[in-house]
Amino acid sequence: MDESYAIRRYEQAAALLPLRWQQQARQLAPGQMALAEELRLRAGRPMTVLLPEGEVVPGRSDLPPTVTQSDLEQLCDAVTDYSRYAAGETLSRGYLTARGGFRVGVCGTAVLREGVNTNLRDISSVTVRIGREQPGLGDEVLSQLFRDGQFRSTVLLSPPGLGKTTLLRDLIRGLSDGVGGLPEHRVSVVDERGEIAVMYQGVPQMAVGRHTDVLDACPKAVGIPILLRAANPQVIAVDEITVREDIAAMAAAAHCGVRFLATIHADGRQELGRKPLFSQLLKARVFEKAVTIRREGEQRQYIVEELW
């Protein structure tokens, strides 16, 4: 990744913070800015920046200032253009989406109605995730996901933090735009947590391709049949399969001829087979190929294998 681009994205994320925290965020060394993954603000604690090796306090660490609840409220108001009510649906799920493609995780006191969280009050912490695109990251992988000229349903596997969503996003773009002479595809995305396309006022803030439709903030099991009816997709993409309902919806859609591109937290195919939920996915033969992400030093390897 280009270092100047990585630093620029850090600075754009820092610009979402209240002024005094912007100033502190800028005290980080440029090399660390390029590697930063999150800005984390917790009430009563110093602000920290998440780096690959862990959280650090920017600038002087002897007597760092502490975050106030007012700081957190101000940040949430600014991100929502002082219309937090309009963002109530995603806030009840624990996040907000900021212009420029930044996902803001929010913790506080849940407001429950009939067992369902409807809002958050008394905000206690905010995490600004520094989303970075890597156009072309998946081009070499994408060409291996075809057989007999047809894209084959593929699952991306790795432990947390190795870039599954980043790779997923670029594969979506490549399929949609038809990179490297591959055919263009109608791709539909169920962006349940707002991390793939990062929609802001109906517009994707991340590059997901010219022929991509996004259903935002919708559970996968609900969104998959909606997209089948509404968008006539050739490929449906989802992030982080976690529950049985997701698998049932995908299996039903696969029988309609649609292909899938998805991610799962797993070290590889062997671990996938050991987990009852995911072994069921293998038995259903929804996916034909798997891409396992591994880290070798500072580099990532993408291992493509046939599932059946």
| Average model confidence (pLDDT) across the chain | 91
pTM above 0.75, yes or no: yes
**In this structure, what token pair is assigned to residue 98?**
């900021």
Predicted confidence at residue 61, as pLDDT, reads: 63
- For residue 263, the SS3 value is strand
| Each residue's pLDDT tens digit, 24-48 | 999 999 999 999 999 999 999 999 9
- Residue 92: CB atoms within 10 Å: 18
Site of tokens 């596997």: 157
Q: What is the pLDDT confidence band of residue 62, given thresholds at 50, 70 and 90?
A: low
Q: Is residue 110 within 8 Å of residue 116, measured between CB atoms?
A: no
Query: What does DSSP assign to residue 211?
Result: T
Q: What is the pLDDT confidence band of residue 279, given thresholds at 50, 70 and 90?
A: confident
Q: Interior CA angle at 158 toward 157 and 162, to 5°?
A: 130
How far are the Cα atoms of 92, 103, 115, 176 from residue 110, in angstroms, in the given order?
A: 8, 19, 10, 38
- Residue 76: CB atoms within 10 Å: 20
| Each residue's pLDDT tens digit, 136-180 | 999 999 999 999 999 999 999 998 878 899 999 999 999 999 999
Q: Is residue 211 within 8 Å of residue 186, measured between CB atoms?
A: yes
- For residue 293, the SS3 value is strand
Dihedral (Cα; 197, 198, 201, 205), 10-degree rounding: -70
The secondary element (H helix, E strand) that includes residue 30 is helix 30-35
Is the pLDDT confidence value at 130 over 70?
A: yes
pLDDT average, residue stretch 5-25? 95
Q: Is residue 196 within 8 Å of residue 169, measured between CB atoms?
A: yes
Predicted confidence at residue 1, as pLDDT, reads: 65
The secondary element (H helix, E strand) that includes residue 186 is none
Q: Give the C-alpha separation, 281 to 283, whole Å.
A: 5
pLDDT average, residue stretch 229-239? 96
